[in-house]
Structure formats: C-alpha cells, structure tokens
C-alpha cells in the first residue's frame, strides 16, 4: 500500500488548523482585509466596541458599491472570528502601550490577533508583494548560516580551529586591502533590494512567532489551573508539582524552548543598538528612496517590534505565575473537602426521602441560614505584660561633657554689637584710624573674631556709611586680621569703608541711644 493515506491524513490535519480554515472560507478576503486595516505593528490591540464599529463601517461601505458581504453585525462577526480562533479578547492588556489608544492605562476589553491570523496575514502579504527570488544575497545568507551551524555541530577541535583561521585570514586580508587605500565597491540598488526582500521575509515572521509563544504560555496556564483544581492529592504534593512546572515553564513547549534560546540573545542591549544602527544604514542607501513611507517606518521599527514581543511574552509569563500563586494562597482544600462531604450527605438524604415521597412532593428549605444568637465573646484577654512599668533609666551623668561657662558660650555666639560700637566710636574720635578695617585690626583679640566683621558691616549700614559718596569710589579693599576663640588667625578681604563727619555723628547718636535704652 502506498503512503497516500498517511499523507492525506497529515494534510487534512493541517487544513483543520485555524490558519488554513481562515484562508479556505468564502469570506476570507473580507476578514483578512479587515484585519489588515484594523491591526498593525503599532496597533497590536483594538478596543472591542471600536472594532465592532469599524467592521460595521466597512460593511456599509462595501454594500454601498454593490460588493457582496457576509451577513451580521460587526459585533456578531467579531464574536464568530473569536470562536474560530482568529481573534483573542483580553481584559488584562495595558492600553497605555498603544499610542493610538483613546483610554490609556484603563482596564478594558480589547481584541488582538492570534498567531493563526498573523500567519494567514503574513502568507497573503508575501503573495501580494514581489517575492525574493533566487539571488546571490539569498544564497550567501544560506551558505553563511550552514557554515555557522556546521562549525557548531562539529566537535573536532582541529577542524574548528582551521575554520576560524580561514575566517581570520580572509578578514585580515580585506582589512589590509582597505587600509592600503583599496577601492570600496558600493552595493547596487538591485543587490540592496534583493537583500531587503530577504530581510522582510524574516522580519515578517516575528509577530507570529512571539504570538505563538504567548498562546503556548496561556494554554499551559489553563492546563495547570485545571489540573490543580481537579487534584485531590495532599496539598504538599500539589505545591511541589506546581513549583516544578513553574521552574520549567518555558522549557515544556517547543515555542517556549525556542524563545528562551532567543531571549538570551535579544536581551543584549548592545546587540540591539547595533542592529538599530544597521537598519538605519540600510535605509540611508539610495535604493530606499523607492520604498513607501509605511515600508520605511515598518522596517526601521524592527527593534521596537522585537522589544514589544519580548515584553508581551514576559508579561504573559509573569501573569501566569501571579495567577497561580494567588490560586495556591487562596485555595483551601480542607473547605473543599468539607463541602464535598456535605453535598454527599445531602445526596444520601435525598435518596432516602425519595423512597417514601410522591412524584410532586416538596421540601421547604431556607436559601440562607438564620442568624445565630450567640453572646458576645471577648476578643482580647488580660495580659500582665501590658501593665509592667518600663525599666528605670540608667544613670549616665558621669559621661556628660563638662559644662561651658558663660564666657565660652559668648565666644561661640554672634557679634558683640554694643562693645563694637563703643570701640569704633573711641577709635574714630581719637583720630587714630581712617577706615573701619584699620580700626578693627587695632582691637583686642576678644573683639576680632571672624563673626565680628558681620557686626561691623551691620553698623556701617545702620549709619549709612556703605552708601557714602566717598566710600569705595575706587573699589579698594582692606584686610581684616581675625582671631578665633582657639587662638588661630585668618585674614579676610573686605571692601574699604571710611567714616566722615556725618557718619561719626550718626555712630555717636546710635551709641548714645543704645546706652539710654539700657
């Protein structure tokens, strides 16, 4: 017997998958056209009511020009497509990541395409554009990939060293040629167009690949929850199995294993940054002038497509872990067994009652049990520890530092304005000095602290000496030699301020007024 029976069964199984069922339907062109217009790389999900309205608008437009359309409303068609596994409705997706969303960050029901719909769209897109034919770039890509995998597959150390030596020699020869001023042959427009077509074929498969990983994780989520709910084993055994499945979550499916292998490569930020620069370099070539704006934008957003795909898969996996953890915490197997035992006893009583009851006999039962009349119970009991006084404070007075005298505290305080006024007035009336700085430098050490300079400037401001026409007209400064309480000295440069007759009179009046107040 030939192998036609087995091959026929395999083909039929393929046609039963949602992808080929979508392409085999009468209204497949309409469905795919709606998906193409409603979803894109920048808009991976659409709010449910909005998609219903869009489908109604598309149906109305087609019926206006006499095109045959499927019967039903936008809502009914979307529900049908969801049942056919072409659309997926989710309420946990964050709308804030969609730049076209009108309700960013709100929890609302949204439609997104399944991997089957993405595969169908990718197939139609590849058939509707110029396909990459056999070319030098495609053969070079295949040869390089085969050479790389062959090097990894060969365990012979000498053979691997030989291959690496050949690559090093070839690269070194090309570098030396360029360093010596060799000519750089620019890539032709045709060569770049062929390479671009190959890249588009590969990039176009990424959304479907990421979506299949999401669906695989979601399917495992449902399977683990169902197994957990139907399991009557001890809670410890169930927890052990749950933790084992969680640890190996991404390695239990082919999609998860493939994603884990790619994730190690894709989370390399330096590699993604270099990929972005390479994409920009390709778009800077003259051949890109013939691309449509949407094609340029889609090709340049490849790095964002990869990052969003990784984020979606990780979000799905984190959601699975969170849901299962909450289920483990909130699940009470003891109460479930008590409920099961109660239902079994009710069933036994019903069987006994039916032995004597007639066909139309009834039993009056209360839907909700009545309230129990129970006395108030104490919620807290007397605790002697609550009335124990605190331990006495330890006497640490022997460790207290030596108290400061009044004179020591004054040395650490602000300027001594009263003493400074008297000293300045005596110095200027004696005619010994011409400026405030000179008078300051002749004072005793107790009045020459650095802070006393601020007191002098305050006094000069009060008697209007700073704004005197003869003060600082030449921008001169003078040096104040100060003495700190510990005996150390420091010199400050301050604008020179002199006192005329009017300022001296004002200083005398200020000093007399202060003395009379005392």
- CATH code (residue 29): 1.10.10
Q: Taking the chain, what is the end-to-end CA distance rounded to the nearest angstrom?
A: 129
Confidence category of residue 490, pLDDT binned at 50, 70, 90? very high
Strand 87-90 to 110-113 pairing: antiparallel
Using CA atoms, how far residue 246 sits from 107, 160, 238, in Å, is 27, 38, 12
| Closest among 32, 45, 55, 199 to 119, alpha carbons compared | 32
Residue 218 CB-half CA count within 13 A: 16
Residues 16 and 118 in one domain: yes
Choose the final residue of a domain: 330, 346, 364.
Answer: 330
State the pLDDT confidence band at 491, using cuts at 50, 70 and 90: very high
Cβ contact 437:450 at 8 Å: no
| 325 and 421 inside one domain | no
The answer to whether position 475 is within a domain reads yes
Q: How many domains does the chain have?
A: 3
Question: Looking at 269, 301, 330, which one is the last position of a domain?
Answer: 330
pLDDT, one tens digit per residue, over 264-287 is: 666 677 877 887 888 888 888 888
pLDDT of residue 5: 78
Q: Per-residue pLDDT averaged across 252-267, rounded?
A: 61
Nearest by Cα to 229 from 90, 321, 320, 330: 330
Share of the chain above pLDDT 70, in %: 76
Q: Which residue has the tokens 């300045």?
A: 424
Q: Show the beta-strand stretches assigned E in 18-86.
A: 45-47
Bigger pLDDT: 421 vs 41? 421
Q: What is the largest CA-CA distance in the chain?
A: 136
pLDDT at 123: 77
Angstrom distance (rounded) from CA 447 to CA 455? 10
Q: Are 274 and 235 in contact (CB under 8 A)?
A: no
Query: Has residue 356 been placed in a domain?
Result: no
Q: Does residue 249 fall inside a structural domain?
A: yes
Inter-CA distances, 374 with 367, 377, 378, Å: 21, 8, 12
**Which whole number is the average pLDDT over 467-477?**
58
Q: 489 pairs with which residues across the strands?
A: 483
Query: Which one, of 123, 140, 248, lies nearest residue 198 by Cα?
Result: 140
Strands 45-47 and 110-113: antiparallel
Whether 346 has a pLDDT exceeding 80, the answer reads: yes
Range name among 15-19, 233-237, 326-330, 493-497 with the lowest pLDDT average: 233-237
- 222 half-sphere exposure, CB direction, 13 A CA radius: 5
Burial label, 307 (beta-carbon count in 10 A; 0-12, 13-18, 19+) = middle
- Nearest one of 319, 314, 110, 313 to 221, comparing CA atoms: 319
Q: For position 480, what pLDDT does the model report?
A: 92
| Tens digit of each residue's pLDDT (9 = 90 or more) over 138-188 | 666 667 767 776 776 777 888 888 888 888 998 888 888 888 888 877 777
- 312/212 same-domain check: yes
Residue 253 reports pLDDT greater than 70: no
Residues spanned by the domain of 96: 4-128
Token digits for 268? 């390399």
Tell me: pLDDT of 453 over 80: yes
**Span 355-391, pLDDT tens digits:** 888 777 887 777 776 777 777 777 778 888 888 888 8
Confidence of residue 214 (pLDDT cuts 50, 70, 90): confident
* Residue 367 tokens, joined: 């839907």
Please check whether residue 47 lies inside any domain of the structure: yes
- Whether the pLDDT of residue 419 is over 70: the answer is yes
> Residue 376 domain-assigned?
no
Token digits of residue 150: 């062959």
| 263 within 8 A of 251, measured Cβ to Cβ | no
Quick check: 438 pLDDT over 70? yes
Q: Is 88 within 8 Å of 113 (Cβ atoms)?
A: yes
């Amino acid at each position: 017997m030939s192998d036609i029976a087995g091959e026929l069964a395999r083909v039929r199984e393929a046609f039963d998958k949602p992808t080929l069922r979508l392409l085999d339907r009468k209204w497949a062109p309409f469905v795919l056209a709606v998906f193409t217009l409603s979803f894109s790389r920048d808009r991976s999900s659409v709010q449910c009511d909005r998609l219903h309205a869009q489908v109604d608008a598309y149906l109305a437009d087609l019926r206006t020009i006499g095109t045959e359309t499927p019967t039903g409303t936008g809502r009914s068609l979307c529900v049908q497509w969801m049942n056919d596994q072409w659309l997926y409705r989710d309420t946990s997706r964050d709308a804030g990541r969609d730049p076209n969303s009108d309700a960013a960050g709100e929890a609302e029901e949204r439609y997104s395409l399944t991997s089957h719909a993405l595969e169908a769209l990718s197939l139609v897109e590849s058939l509707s554009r110029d396909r990459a034919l056999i070319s030098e770039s495609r053969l070079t890509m295949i040869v390089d990939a085969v050479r790389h995998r062959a090097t990894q597959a060969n365990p012979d150390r000498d053979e691997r060293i030989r291959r690496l030596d050949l690559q090093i020699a070839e690269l070194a020869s090309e570098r030396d040629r360029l360093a010596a001023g060799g000519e750089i042959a620019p890539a032709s427009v045709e060569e770049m167009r062929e390479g671009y077509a190959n890249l588009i074929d590969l990039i176009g498969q990424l959304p479907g690949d990421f979506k299949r990983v999401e669906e695989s994780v979601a399917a495992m989520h449902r399977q683990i929850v169902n197994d957990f709910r139907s399991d009557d084993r001890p809670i410890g055994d169930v927890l052990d199995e749950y933790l084992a499945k969680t640890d190996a979550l991404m390695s239990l499916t082919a999609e998860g294993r493939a994603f884990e292998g790619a994730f190690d490569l894709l989370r390399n930020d330096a590699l993604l940054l270099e990929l972005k620069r390479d994409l920009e370099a390709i778009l800077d070539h003259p051949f890109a002038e013939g691309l449509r704006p949407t094609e340029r934008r889609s090709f340049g957003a490849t790095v964002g497509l990869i990052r969003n795909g990784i984020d979606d898969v990780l979000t799905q996996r984190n959601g699975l872990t969170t849901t299962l953890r909450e289920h483990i915490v909130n699940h009470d197997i003891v109460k479930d067994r008590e409920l099961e035992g109660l239902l079994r006893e009710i069933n036994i009583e019903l069987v006994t009652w039916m032995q004597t009851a007639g066909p139309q006999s009834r039993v009056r039962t209360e839907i909700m049990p009545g309230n129990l009349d129970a006395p108030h119970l104490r919620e807290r009991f007397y605790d002697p520890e609550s009335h124990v006084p605190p331990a006495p404070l330890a006497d640490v007075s022997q460790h207290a530092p030596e108290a400061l005298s009044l004179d020591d505290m004054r040395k650490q305080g602000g300027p001594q304005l009263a003493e400074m006024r008297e000293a300045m007035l005596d110095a200027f009336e004696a005619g010994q000095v011409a400026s405030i700085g000179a008078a300051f430098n002749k004072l005793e050490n107790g009045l020459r602290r650095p802070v006393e300079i601020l007191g002098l400037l305050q006094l000069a401001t009060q008697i209007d000496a700073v704004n005197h026409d003869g003060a600082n007209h030449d921008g001169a400064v003078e040096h104040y030699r100060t003495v700190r309480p510990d005996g150390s000295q420091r010199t400050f440069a301050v604008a020179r301020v002199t006192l005329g007759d009017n300022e001296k009179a004002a200083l005398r009046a200020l000093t007399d007024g202060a003395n009379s107040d005392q």
